Amino acid sequence: MLLTFLIFFPLVGVAAIALMPTFGLDKSYAKWLATLTAGIELLCSVPLWIGFDAGATGFQWETKVAWIESFGIEYHIGVDGLSMVLVILTALLSLISIYCSFSGITEREREFYAFLLLLETGMIGAFVSLDLFLFYVFWEVMLVPMYFLIGVWGGEQKLYAAIKFFLYTLFGSVLMLIGILLIYFHYKEASGGLSTFDLVKLMQFPLSAQGDFFLGKSTQWWAFLLLFVGFAIKVPMVPFHTWLPDAHVQAPTAGSVILAGVLLKMGAYAFLRFSLPLLPEASIAWAPFLMTLSLVAIIYGALVAMMQSDMKKLIAYSSVSHMGFVTAGIFALNYEGIAGGTIQMVNHGLSTGALFLIVGLIYERRHTKAIADFGGLSAKMPVYAMLFLIATLSSIGMPGLNGFIGEFTILLGIFQVSKVWAAIAALGIIMGAAYMLWLYQRVMFGPCDKPENQALKDLDLREILTLAPLIVLMFWIGLYPKPLFEKLDTSTRATVEWVRKANEASYGAYTNYKHRTSLQQSHGVAGKEEGSLLAPESAAVSRSDRVSGQVVWSLPREGGDWDRHSASVGGGESR
């Protein structure tokens, strides 16, 4: 019930704001109503953290009500460690983005806050949905308010940016919908007519007599591809990222914060929540490809960020780079990678959210975001300079702050897969430090020679208050991440274990066990001992293992299929 309340409570705020004229309230009360709603929402999400049983497997606070029986669709919600953390992050960032808009949004305030609250409903709903259909509904519901936030309160190019954002994401969504339907119909066929979109049910489907997962490998492959496009656009992974800079630059500060802090997480979250559990074999098959894309994103995002002259655009491209870390961690497919990826999602939400707020603050004062218009601000605005510095250091992964924890854990995960990849990713961290520090230097240091900058006021209390929670959390995660890891532990472990198990089961179906072990011995490879759960049956798979045209997808350590993957995706590194 708590989760249901969390999903729908912001709608109460929306209704209250919509009906304000009926009760004769002045429109200046809209922001207070919105703050109140988001504040209550945040308070009510805290019990999730306190009451969360870190040791329990499966989902907690589950609610399950039949919804559209004809398709077996259920209103099924619940959280595990991963989604619990993201729900709280969403509630926090929503409150902050509402609070930070007090001075920036002066026209059409009621609509603005109503859309923000509507967005919160969509985001929290998507994070707690355990039914594919329900998830899709909330996923789409998020689009509409975001479209308006960019389109109505955005910058000069707002119309273009808004429709581009909407079109891109909807394009991904419809492909994702086909992927979901593919899974649905295969389940229906395999189970003899049962229809369900329920994640838990789909995963509990009894493995067939051959020990196979209900989805055949080729179906999984296609379904993964379809879901991948939908999720990758949202992340955004590299070939699909072009909507992001436009949307970020044009969006109002609150929109950017939500976009960077929460919406981008949605794609990575969906990979973890749906792709890996439902399509384990395809996830392994696609992993090299996704890893490659992630590394490209890390390097490309960093390089492009260096060249930007607009602060918001720079941070937008840094998001591409940082989200590359998240997906790289996830598709390392081992415990460290996934745990690090999850932490990095939170970190990126905190640090990039803070950076967008900081840019927003200076934009409100000077109405420009061009780096060249600033310089030497640290003398005029000491508090601002300090907060900016903390956010910057957090973003580049300075030890003691949160970014370090996430990136380090991810690197641990990638390292187990490939040292070369880990090296490339590490290069990305160095470049990240370069462009962020350079940005800081150009804005904060040097002579303050622009006359417009002479009269800049430092932050007032409200502005410091908007940033304070983020700064506190940065230090907390940076210095004492243990509680966070503990909460995430079970769900991460379950995901990794599930992928490994499904993969093993499918091996059992298609290969002769003795043959495989002998292969392992002859190659002297023992997958599990190497610490990674990535490829438990890691011997090279010979052609005889492909039974009746079925391709055995795997991620072996040496030779064989690995090369085939590399060839097919064009550029995977081979160990």
Partner 1 sequence: MTGFNPLDYVNSSDFLSTAPELLLVGVGLLILMLDLFLPAKRRELIVQVTVMGLLLSLAIVWIGWPDSQSEAFSGMLVVDGYSQFIKMVVLLGALLVVFISGRYLRNEGIYVAEFYELLLFSSVGMMVMASGANLLTIYLGLELMSLPLYVLAAFLRANRRSTEAGLKYFLLGGFSSALLLYGISLIYGLTGTTNLMALQHSLASLPVSPPLLVAMVLLVAGFGFKVSAVPFHLWTPDVYMGAPTPVVAFMSVGTKAAAIAAFARLMVVSFGGLQSSVWASMLIVLAVGSMVLGNVVAVVQNNVKRMLAYSAIGHGGYLLVGLIASMKPGSVVGLPDGLTSLLFYLFGYLFANIGAFAVVIYLGREGQHESYEDYSGLAQTRPWLAAVMMIFLLSLTGIPPTIGFVGKFYIFAAAIGSGYTVLALIGLLTSTISLYYYMGLGMYMYMRPPVERHVFYPTRGLTISLIVCAVATVLFGILPQTWVHLAQSGVLQLWH
Residue ranges in contact with partner 1 by CB under 8 A: 67-71, 108, 111, 133, 136-137, 140-141, 143-144, 147-148, 151-152, 158-159, 162-163, 166-167, 170-171, 174-175, 177-178, 181-182, 184-185, 188
| Nearest-approach distance from CB 13 to partner 1, in angstroms | 16
Hey, what are 258's tokens? 């939500």
| Nearest-approach distance from CB 140 to partner 1, in angstroms | 5
| Nearest-approach distance from CB 175 to partner 1, in angstroms | 8
Using CA atoms, how far residue 282 sits from 53, 219, 225, 501, 565, in Å, is: 31, 9, 9, 13, 12
**Closer to partner 1 by Cβ: residue 17 or 38:** 17
| Nearest-approach distance from CB 148 to partner 1, in angstroms | 6
User: What phi, psi does 76 have (nearest 5°)?
Assistant: -120, 115
Contacts of 129 (CB under 8 A, 6+ apart): 76, 77, 135, 137, 138
Give 58's strand partners. Answer: none
**Closer to partner 1 by Cβ: residue 113 or 415:** 113
| Nearest-approach distance from CB 305 to partner 1, in angstroms | 29
| Nearest-approach distance from CB 71 to partner 1, in angstroms | 7
- What is the residue type of 435? Y
Closest to 350 measured CA to CA, from 575, 144, 92, 568: 92
**Closer to partner 1 by Cβ: residue 182 or 295:** 182
**Closer to partner 1 by Cβ: residue 150 or 499:** 150
- What is the residue-wise DSSP string for 327-384? HHHHTT-SHHHHHHHHHHHHHHHHHHHHHHHHHHHHHHHHS--BGGG---HHHH-HHH
Other residues' Cβ atoms within 10 Å of the Cβ of residue 88: 21
**Closer to partner 1 by Cβ: residue 270 or 338:** 270
| Nearest-approach distance from CB 476 to partner 1, in angstroms | 37
**Closer to partner 1 by Cβ: residue 20 or 54:** 20
Helices 217-234 and 280-306, axial angle in degrees (round to 10): 30
**Closer to partner 1 by Cβ: residue 32 or 71:** 71
* C-alpha–C-alpha distance, residues 556 and 519, integer Å: 12
Contacts of 362 (CB under 8 A, 6+ apart): 311, 369, 374, 377, 384, 443
**Closer to partner 1 by Cβ: residue 70 or 548:** 70
236 prior amide bond cis, ω within 30 = yes
| Nearest-approach distance from CB 510 to partner 1, in angstroms | 25
